[in-house]
Structure 1
Amino acid sequence: MSSTVGAALLRLTSRSACSQLRAPVLSTTSRRNFHGSPSQRTDGVFKELTSMRVRTPWVEAFRKQEKEGKQAAEPSGKPEVPKNRNLKAKHMNDSYHSVVLPLAQDPWLLDTYLNSSGHIRLGTIFMDLDALSGIIAYKHTGEDVTTVTASCDRITINSPLTEICDLQLSGRVTYATGRSSLEITMQVAKAPLKGESVKDEEVLINCTFTMVSLDPGTKKPVNVNPLIVKTQEEKRLYALGERNSQIRKERRDTSLLKHTPNDLESDLIHAFWQKQLQYHDPYNDLRQPENVVFMDATRLRTATIMQPQYRNRHHFMIFGGFLLKQTFELAFTTAAAFSHKRPTFVSLDPSTFQNPVPVGSILYLTATVVYTDPPLIDVADEKTNQNSEYTRVQVRVDSKVRDVEHGHSKPTGQFNYTFTVPKNIRVMPRTYQEFMYYIDARRRAEQVKRTLNEGFGLSARKAEESLTE
């Protein structure tokens, strides 16, 4: 199949070249000028962020693969990272990179960032942030290694965007101990005037990504340059990176895949089971309220074939930012379908990229509302406002990939998005798997609350004012 495609590509390009050689020369009076849209090599990522992503046309990468007769996803097994590679410690600012999206100046660029209601599509911004993280990572590690996105630790809205303006995306490596992983901190802000710096109140988005460096030949982790930390601000950022690393370890150690729910969570599961019995007891007057929706009724699914326009710099795997955009937009749609209201984005909570997604494979996404806050049932010693005007909705998006022939499948990531909706609505689990989803989401929600108490994020009413969606 692949050799047939390769031959077809060769015939197509050779015929095009021959037709150009034989084309008759038109007189100046009969010549017609045709105009087309500018060529676009990628799937919408801002052009200044594609330099580290796509360096070779797909047709050339495909021909090379055909000639070598091997699958690009398969490691060669031979180490390619030089043994004498320079691992000298670096400063944070050595990896600093920024780019300005001239949205206020370029209406055609703005056209690719707006949705039908005139709001900036956050999913497209997330895609740009992932591209930026790649540039920053390679500035720190050099290009001898393969650096991939391991997780997105947080993306939060810091301040509302009240007008369409130029946006500055910037970031740097803020945590690296010398092992294979590094944390990158980025922000999106209103672009400052020349000679001025960004003000805190003009920062729209804060986020952190964790990247891992691999040997291109063996696909095994390799060490990267550690960081030199000197200033108070650098020490603060480095300490946050240490804390995030510790939180990730604690989350793995206490995962529901390894341990049963604790006593409080077990009591909560029992309370939900009792509530279900009450709803269906003919001798009980309690019935399922109109604002309570069973979890399985909130589920939405998509299936998409992965085209080469979505590839990363290694040509045969899908760019992580594309997955962020797809999962965000499905999560947004799920929250909207659940509440019948327009959701407002709060945060992307800790999410993982488990396995790469090959070009040409089928990506399956499943989104589910797994938690609402205020919850339907309070735990002991917890009092919530059950009449709250707004509900915080957590949507879990699970992704898996299959080859076109649907032979093998594997999970590729879990993404956790939180929105607010202007409605009093609750989700209710009723199977054991749904209870585990609910408990896991509840733990994440508690972490989100702690972060918001530390000063990150917006109130639901304030967030609605932002021209982002």
Structure 2
Amino acid sequence: MAHLSKTTLRRVSRAAENCARPILGRPSAVPATHRAFRTTSPSRTDGVFRELTAQRLQTPWVEALRKQHEESKNAAEKPTTPQVPKERELSPKRMDDSYHKVVLPLAQDPWLLDTYLNSSGHIRLGTIFMDLDALSGVIAYKHTGDDVTTVTASCDRIVINHPLTEICDLELSGKVTYATGRSSMEITMQVAKAPQEGQSIKNEDVLIHCTMTMVALDPATKKPVNVNPLVVSSPEEKRLYDLGERNSKVRKQRKETALTKHTPNDLESDLIHAFWQKQLQYHDPYDELRKPDNAHFMDTTILRNATIMQPQNRNRHQFMIFGGFLLKQTFELAFTTAAAFAHARPTFVSLDPSTFQNPVPVGSILYMTATVVYTDPPLIGAPGEKFDTESEYTRVQVRVDSKVRDVEHGHSKPTGTFNYTFTVKRNIRVVPRTYQEFMLYLDARRRAEQVKETLQQEGVGLSAQKAEQSVTE
């Protein structure tokens, strides 16, 4: 929680009193010819649709601060005890019990559309990602109830399925599709062109497919608590549940084989050696081979950013930042990094498995570092690997590492790693040259191969040519 000085607390208390005090002398009605000195009807749209924001921000910030001050007076005297009852009702639930949908009337409401468009008239995907994260929170609480705190543990995947060729109303929908009864649950969502009344969504109308993992915590102790398991009642639900089970196994396997725990395998070691040999040739005065013009060293692709975390982007628990805001910030930095690297407009392909490690407190400073860590086709392939060296398009994977630092004490900790893949209409390659960069490169290569295999199994994703037709950023 943010540390508050006595002066700040006095100001908060006075502000809260002023908010509650009636304004003397205000006329009961304002003539139609005059505009009252007040805001328009509150939409609180910070890139998140108001129907979702209203469920996230339920208490004004000034009131939350005052309540925190009152509770902190007795915090030292009262030990922290679990708030979640031990005898909670955890009977199995159906997937449809958590189903929720909202419609963004982008084609009908130009002022709402105004908050979703970029300078070229394309829909900003970062704002849609914020909406998806907000929607996942609504779905999670429909499954768990309000007794627990739910947080985003990871974004397993966001994939563009079909291009959106015109501005239209969008329907965001989803439900819990995997929950065994432990603390985590997988939520599957989609963004699609809103159907006409009485009609259903067609497969070709689905713009985005998304899966996120949420974890339930005790509000007081912040320790994981169990949630209701799912009961499967149809072949389609069985398919979704099996996908969730597979994703869970993939996450565990990724942790067990991570390069932070194990050395590269034989094939990867050969790849590192091949890169080293190639760079020796580049610098050998007696060898005619030089680094190609389309190859760039990894350390030259880095972009950094720092942002103060303001309360307007808080989550429903008031003192931590909303996860969707982090997705938007990291996406836009990744987009900028890919554009600077390729000198071409990137087209978003997917958000690959990414993790939220620690919460981001309101009032802290978020530091983000984006790096181009892998390109496909690569400059050098593994032994036996085939790829098109003259490909017109290149897939660019950008890794965004984030950490948070508190203003008062300067303590920092990592908050998450986000992996975005774009296509660019350029033949361009990234080249690692330090051991740390090789580890980033190999981790990205593993991720790219894994995602490619998963997308082929599920039959989702689209070509670079089709992706360019979309009106999304």
Interval of TM-score (by shorter of Structure 1 and Structure 2):
over 0.9
1:272 deviation in Å? 1.0
Q: Mapping of 1:193-204 within 5 angstroms?
A: 193-204=196-207
1:280 deviation in Å? 1.1
1:405 deviation in Å? 2.8
Counterpart of 2:49? Answer: 46
Counterpart of 2:464? Answer: 460
1:98 deviation in Å? 0.3
Q: Mapping of 1:49-448 within 5 angstroms?
A: 49-69=52-72, 77-448=80-451
1:325 deviation in Å? 0.5
1:12 deviation in Å? 4.3
Separation of aligned partners in 1, 2:387 and 2:30: 79
Residue-pair matches, total: 467
Matching residue's letter, 2:470: S
The answer (yes or no) to whether the contact 2:139–2:175 under 8 Å persists in 1 is yes
1:59 deviation in Å? 0.3
1:217 deviation in Å? 1.3
Separation of aligned partners in 2, 1:230 and 1:30: 60
1:176 deviation in Å? 0.4
Change (3 A) 1:150 1:33: closer
Separation of aligned partners in 1, 2:437 and 2:347: 24
Matching residue's letter, 2:247: N
TM-score normalised by L of structure 1: 0.95
* Residue aligned with 1:186, SS: strand
Matching residue's letter, 1:44: G
1:33 deviation in Å? 4.2
* Residue aligned with 2:23, SS: helix
In terms of mean alpha carbon deviation, does 214-223 or 103-112 score higher? 214-223
Separation of aligned partners in 1, 2:30 and 2:336: 55
Separation of aligned partners in 1, 2:205 and 2:74: 46
Change (3 A) 1:152 1:202: same
The answer (yes or no) to whether the contact 2:180–2:230 under 8 Å persists in 1 is yes
1:451 deviation in Å? 2.7
Separation of aligned partners in 2, 1:468 and 1:122: 6
Matching residue's letter, 2:447: R
TM-score normalised by L of structure 2: 0.95
1:37 deviation in Å? 4.2
* Residue aligned with 2:56, SS: coil
Residues 207-265 of structure 1: per-residue CA shift (max 9 Å, x gap): 10000001111111111000010100000000000100010010001000110000110
Change (3 A) 1:238 1:76: farther
1:279 deviation in Å? 1.1
Separation of aligned partners in 2, 1:381 and 1:26: 79
Residues 90-148 of structure 1: per-residue CA shift (max 9 Å, x gap): 00000000000000000000000000111100000000000000000000011111111
Change (3 A) 1:304 1:28: closer
Q: Which runs of 5+ in 1 are unaligned?
A: none
Change (3 A) 1:230 1:403: same
Change (3 A) 1:229 1:451: same
Change (3 A) 1:31 1:193: closer
Change (3 A) 1:403 1:243: same
Separation of aligned partners in 1, 2:279 and 2:187: 45
Separation of aligned partners in 2, 1:270 and 1:327: 32
Separation of aligned partners in 2, 1:90 and 1:111: 39
Matching residue's letter, 1:127: M
1:77 deviation in Å? 3.0
Change (3 A) 1:287 1:68: same
The answer (yes or no) to whether the contact 1:3–1:66 under 8 Å persists in 2 is no
The answer (yes or no) to whether the contact 2:101–2:173 under 8 Å persists in 1 is yes
Separation of aligned partners in 2, 1:166 and 1:42: 17
Separation of aligned partners in 1, 2:423 and 2:31: 62
Matching residue's letter, 1:458: L
Change (3 A) 1:406 1:377: farther
In terms of mean alpha carbon deviation, does 278-287 or 458-467 score higher? 278-287
Separation of aligned partners in 1, 2:394 and 2:30: 68
Change (3 A) 1:245 1:19: closer
Matching residue's letter, 1:464: E
1:26 deviation in Å? 11
Separation of aligned partners in 2, 1:284 and 1:140: 65
Separation of aligned partners in 2, 1:246 and 1:31: 63
Matching residue's letter, 2:105: P
Q: Which runs of 5+ in 2 are unaligned?
A: none
1:32 deviation in Å? 6.1
Separation of aligned partners in 1, 2:429 and 2:86: 56
Change (3 A) 1:279 1:66: same
